[in-house]
Amino acid sequence: MDSHVLEINLISAQGLKPPFGLRRVQAYAVAWVDPAFKVRTRVDRTGGENPTWNDKFIFRVPAGFLADDSTSAVSIEIYAAAGWILPDPLLGTVRLLVGNLRLLSRRRACPAFDAVGIRRPSGRFHGILNVGATLLHCVSLVATEALAACPAVGYRDLMGKEASKIRRFPVTPAAARGVDTTAGEDPALQGWNGGQGSSDGGDEEERSDGGVVLCGPCCLGFPRRIHLNPSDPNLKLS
């Protein structure tokens, strides 16, 4: 079945409502097309109720997912980082109907932008999520290998890739099928969905069963407990 590569850019949010008991909001967002493969932005530590992430993710989706009359959507949840003890409270959810963006009728690599209302757990809308979506015509070899192994990946996961793999290749089903599956052993591609992270130590993330994540200088400079929803065993950290 034909597939496309969809890039989603979680740009920022505005007007988040702080949860009860937290003096300051430090928000992050979780996104997915298939709930078995979730990706996550970094934690914004300075924006408070108006966080900025500008984190990009790529998803391998079937052609029908992008149809103008499709009801398929990218699901997004926004959380507040609560610390070591308390679970991270849900601030709101967004359902981005990709068909409304008419990506198939736009030029390839031409992004579409939208501002979508955030639905709070109470059901009321409060705040706006600024998001961009792009239908990609070609991606790097490292991204092609990544999507052959996992249908969702963040650009931050691809950091540290070898310079020899920067060349871009057309996104076609035949190209995806021709990828060597042993590429999953490449250290630059480890760290997805419970992997061990890159072996160079620069962007290394180590994760224990207790949910403690030690993040390198690209994200956090100190150990931090990330409270994962028990229903999200495949959540990936960007």
Report the CATH number that the domain containing residue 120 is assigned in CATH: 2.60.40.150
Gyration radius from the chain CA atoms: 18
pLDDT band at 170 (very low <50, low <70, confident <90, very high): low
Is 238 domain-assigned? no
Find, among 174, 112, 152, the residue nearest to 30 by Cα. 152
Percent of the chain with pLDDT over 90: 45
Is 187 domain-assigned? yes
Is 234 domain-assigned? no
In this structure, the chain runs to a length of 238
Rounded CA-CA distance 208/127 in Å is: 34
Is 232 domain-assigned? no
- Domains: count for the chain: 1
Find, among 189, 228, 188, the residue nearest to 208 by Cα. 228
Pair 20, 122: CB distance under 8 Å: no
The token pair that represents 146 in the structure block: 């990544």
Q: Taking residues 130-135, what's their average pLDDT?
A: 96
Q: Indicate the pTM of the whole model.
A: 0.67
- Whether 165 shows a pLDDT value over 90: the answer reads no
Q: Does residue 168 sit in helix, strand or coil? A: strand
Is 236 domain-assigned? no
Q: Read off the pLDDT of residues 21-73 as tens digits, 9 standing for 90 and up.
A: 777 899 999 999 999 999 999 999 999 999 999 999 999 999 899 998 889 99
Most confident region among 110-114, 188-192, 194-198, 220-224 by mean pLDDT: 110-114
Q: Read off the pLDDT of residues 39-48 as tens digits, 9 standing for 90 and up.
A: 999 999 999 9
Range of the domain at 145: 3-225
- Whether 143 shows a pLDDT value over 50: the answer reads yes
- Whether 234 shows a pLDDT value over 90: the answer reads no
Is 104 domain-assigned? yes
Phi, psi (5° rounding) for residue 53? -115, -50
**Average pLDDT value over all residues in the chain:** 75
Is 235 domain-assigned? no
